[in-house]
Amino acid sequence: MTDLSVDARLLDSDRRTETSINSRVVTFALVILAAGSIALAQAYGWRQGALFVLGGGLGLILYHALFGFTSAWRVFIADGRGAGLRAQMVMLAVASVLFLPVLEQGSLFGETVRGLYGAVGVSVIVGAFLFGIGMQLGGGCASGTLYTAGGGNTRMLVVLTFFIVGSVWGAHDLPWWSAQPNVGPVSLVHTMGWPLALSLSLLLFAAIASSTVFIERWRHGTLKSGVSPEHRGWRRFLQGPWPLVAGAIALAIGNFATLYLAGRPWGITSAFALWGSKIAALGGLDVASWPYWKVPANAKMLQESIFADITSVMDFGIILGALLAAGLAGKFSPGWRVAPLSLLAAVIGGLLLGYGARLAYGCNIGAYFSGIASSSLHGWVWLAAAFAGSWLGIWLRPYFGLSVEREPGRTKSLRGQ
């Protein structure tokens, strides 16, 4: 089977389909986004309402740009096509240019801001490696799980459910993992200043992008940025798919807006641990006694409503934004039939995603995107470890009946390579 998050631009297809806007889905999503933002603004302040809408915008961007971290890595590892990975480097470069001067100063438009940093050590390496395996078995990362679930992929609802379960498990075990050998958080901005940190980051982004160009030309002879879109002009803007680079730039700007509104960059998975722990507490489990939830900031989150939590509000927005995009594209059509092996992969993948994200102090958004944009060394370590985990996850996919995207003539199983 092919995941919804697979970037269709990287596959051979010249089909043209006239799709109609699903007005009921679009109306529902818009009404909830509007009413929710007003209610949140009244209860928790205008920033909370704005973050809900911003989450909706990010969900729409992810869906319309088909911006899949998981599929981009898989297509590159399995078939040598690097357009998706190059788009990620563009996203990181734009975000770093916006973030680093501001983070060194510590304020943005008069508001105090900080980056996202995690300790560099055993925990992040193990967690990111597990997350990488989970990405490929589950068929999505943290952002991918939310936007594909919101877009109507019912298999991803299973992944999301067990992502939450794994996050609770990871929250329980995190204190032990955090005590393993590590050098603590390392900020390149605070270590070497933003000009040097930015120069080094841009150099690394360019090196990664250049390596994908070299590998793609070596394996295929030419670069491939994608197929012709189904729609043109305003219809393409409204229904997608958008160019990958446009999506990359929009996500970087959205993360910068998050930095201003929330005082820190975009994150996703801490909310999953919160949701799961609250449900577990309702079931009689004393999660409040766990060391993870005794940290003052975490304890406050556990006691308050989930709607007071910035990450939760943005996650809900992402789901609704993807729902809106699916309705605009006329592609909201949930299906409930999932092959047993694929369902098993969804369960295992979700657990690994949740557990790995907690150990690694974040996911593809909080650790990789926002971590690297914050000049956190743990973001780069996360990238290397998660990429290695993805390699193993891709090798395992055929055992669960999951496809590994390749162009015609390149169907050799990864097990035979």
Q: What is the pLDDT of residues 160-192, one digit of tens each?
A: 999 999 999 999 999 999 999 999 999 999 999
Residue of 233 and 344 predicted with greater confidence: 344
Structural contact between residues 159 and 367, judged by C-beta atoms closer than 8 angstroms: no
In a domain, 5, yes or no: no
Residue 150's pLDDT is 79
Residue 409's pLDDT is 46
Whether residue 26 has pLDDT greater than 50: yes
Over range 270-287, report the average pLDDT.
Answer: 96
State the burial class of residue 234 (Cβ atoms within 10 Å of its Cβ: 0-12, 13-18, 19+): exposed
CA dihedral (307, 312, 314, 318) positive or negative: negative
Half-sphere exposure of 369 (CA within 13 A, CB side): 32
In a domain, 4, yes or no: no
Q: What is the pLDDT of residues 65-100, one digit of tens each?
A: 888 899 999 999 999 999 999 999 999 999 999 999
Residue identified by tokens 């390699």 is 391
Whether residue 215 has pLDDT greater than 80: yes
Per-residue confidence band for 226, with pLDDT thresholds at 50, 70 and 90: low
In a domain, 327, yes or no: yes
Whether residue 7 has pLDDT greater than 80: no
- State which residues form the domain around 250: 20-402
Whether residue 54 has pLDDT greater than 60: yes
Per-residue confidence band for 149, with pLDDT thresholds at 50, 70 and 90: confident
φ and ψ at residue 187, rounded to 5 degrees: -105, 120
Structural contact between residues 170 and 358, judged by C-beta atoms closer than 8 angstroms: yes
State the burial class of residue 30 (Cβ atoms within 10 Å of its Cβ: 0-12, 13-18, 19+): middle
In a domain, 15, yes or no: no
In a domain, 407, yes or no: no
In a domain, 2, yes or no: no
Per-residue confidence band for 270, with pLDDT thresholds at 50, 70 and 90: very high
Residue 376's DSSP bridge partners are: 187
Residue 227's pLDDT is 53
Over range 302-306, report the average pLDDT.
Answer: 96
In a domain, 415, yes or no: no
Whether residue 12 has pLDDT greater than 60: no
Q: What is the mean pLDDT of the chain?
A: 90
What is the pTM assigned to this prediction?
A: 0.91
**How many residues does the structure list for the chain?**
417
Cα distances (Å, whole numbers) of residue 69 to 34, 235, 364, 365, 390: 29, 25, 8, 10, 11
Residue 17's pLDDT is 47
In a domain, 67, yes or no: yes
Residue 19's pLDDT is 66
CA dihedral (16, 17, 23, 27) positive or negative: negative
Structural contact between residues 318 and 99, judged by C-beta atoms closer than 8 angstroms: no
Count of the separate structural domains present in the chain: 1
Whether residue 336 has pLDDT greater than 90: no
Distance CA 114, CA 100 (A): 10
Whether residue 43 has pLDDT greater than 50: yes
- The b-or-e profile of 74-107 (16+ CB within 10 A means b, else e) is bbbbbbbbbbbbbbbbbbbbbbbebbbebbbeee
Which range (9-18, 87-96, 300-309) has the least confidence?
9-18
Residue 211's pLDDT is 97
Over range 101-113, report the average pLDDT.
Answer: 95
